[in-house]
Structure 1
């Protein structure tokens, strides 16, 4: 399965594939995904935790002790905790974010979902989000999960990235293309 998806390769792809196959066999894919998402959120919230995970200065024993406490407090156990301990033991903890990304790609593929990165100038209403999901589903034939990012610098419109395809209908891009056309004409 990993070989079919270019986003799931290398060291992180091997760990993610092994984790996915184990979770699928134990029928706990959703629980493992929830635990991994929780751990990714913790990484995003704590610069100290991110440093502990990425820095080679910390010994495996230091990482195991510290992360054991973090995982217990967050309620992360079972397969997910085992994965993190294996990454620590193999001195691959620095790759945990890539493993999480690859695992999520495998889950999306397994569930027949696609993920689109959407950048908007201001938050979308639920009605607009549903309309966007429906439009993307009609194009892909799959349910599409949206990662929405708000970036006021695009002024208006939206930028949608789905796999290798990107549609940029932002006002910033349109204004830039008009500016370039005017420069060339002058």
Structure 2
């Protein structure tokens, strides 16, 4: 979910244009599904992202790689959009375009993207309970959790939304206790 602010600024007009086009053509659901799948795929294949971002590699080679790897997996309009990014030498912004596009879709659909860092993976019941509580707190119709496991948190979890950070981690509680004790013990 986190991305380079400058890249997001450049990527936003592309995302907005694709969003408007997908709404106009009544293909928003297909494009959104493509981008959700692409987001996962790019996360699992960092070498593809590096290849596409490499300025030494030519447009034709990038088009060929995308055609071989993604053309059969994507809606034709989504694939054409990727080719536009390649031709305009903006394919290196693909991850930022995906983030911007999905934010537009989620905002329209009242879906909140929330990042959660936890020391241990959530069980299904814990995840469902957290989603239920977050729906109540944010008044969203749907919550999309992006969960990362970070064992340095020791226990508990950290919730990040657009404007708030809620820290229920043991690491944070220990740091606060240490600060308190430092203040009390300095006489």
Calculate the TM-score normalised by the size of structure 2.
0.88
SS in 1 for 2:125: helix
Secondary structure of the residue that 1:71 maps to in structure 2?
helix
- Deviation string, structure 1 residues 113-169 (Cα, Å, up to 9, x no partner): 111111111111222212211211111111221111111211111111121111001
Paired with 2:6 and 2:62, the residues of 1 have a C-alpha distance of 27
Determine the structure 2 residue equivalent to 1:3: none
What is the CA–CA distance in structure 2 between the aligned matches of 1:76 and 1:91, rounded to whole Å?
20
Runs of at least 5 residues in structure 1 that lack an aligned partner in the other structure = 1-5
Decide whether aligned partners of structure 1 residues 117 and 38 sit closer, same or farther in structure 2, where only a CA change above 3 A counts. same
Within 2, Cα distance between the matches of 1:9 and 1:49? 20
Could you tell me whether the CA contact under 8 Å between 1:8 and 1:105 is conserved in 2? no
**Aligned equivalents of 2:68 and 2:184: distance in 1?**
64
After TM superposition, give the deviation of residue 172 of structure 1 in Å.
0.3
- For residue 144 of structure 1, give the secondary structure of its aligned residue in structure 2: strand
Q: Distance in 1 between matches of 2:103 and 2:6?
A: 7
TM-score by length of 1: 0.89
Question: Distance in 2 between the 1:53 and 1:64 partners?
Answer: 9
Q: SS at 2:117's partner residue?
A: strand
Count residues in correspondence.
Answer: 180
Change (3 A) 1:81 1:145: same
Aligned to 1:55: 54
Taking the TM superposition and a 5 Å limit, the aligned residue runs for 1:1-186 are: 10-73=9-72, 75-142=73-140, 143-186=142-185
User: Does the residue aligned with 2:55 lie in a helix, a strand or coil?
Assistant: coil
Gaps of 5+ in 2: none
Question: CA offsets, 1:48-104, max 9 Å, x none?
Answer: 31121111111111111111111135x123121011100011011110100000011
Q: Deviation of residue 35 (structure 1)?
A: 1.2
Instruction: List, as ranges, runs of 4+ consecutive aligned residues in structure 1 with deviation greater than 3 Å.
Output: 6-9
Instruction: Give the superposed CA RMSD.
Output: 2.0
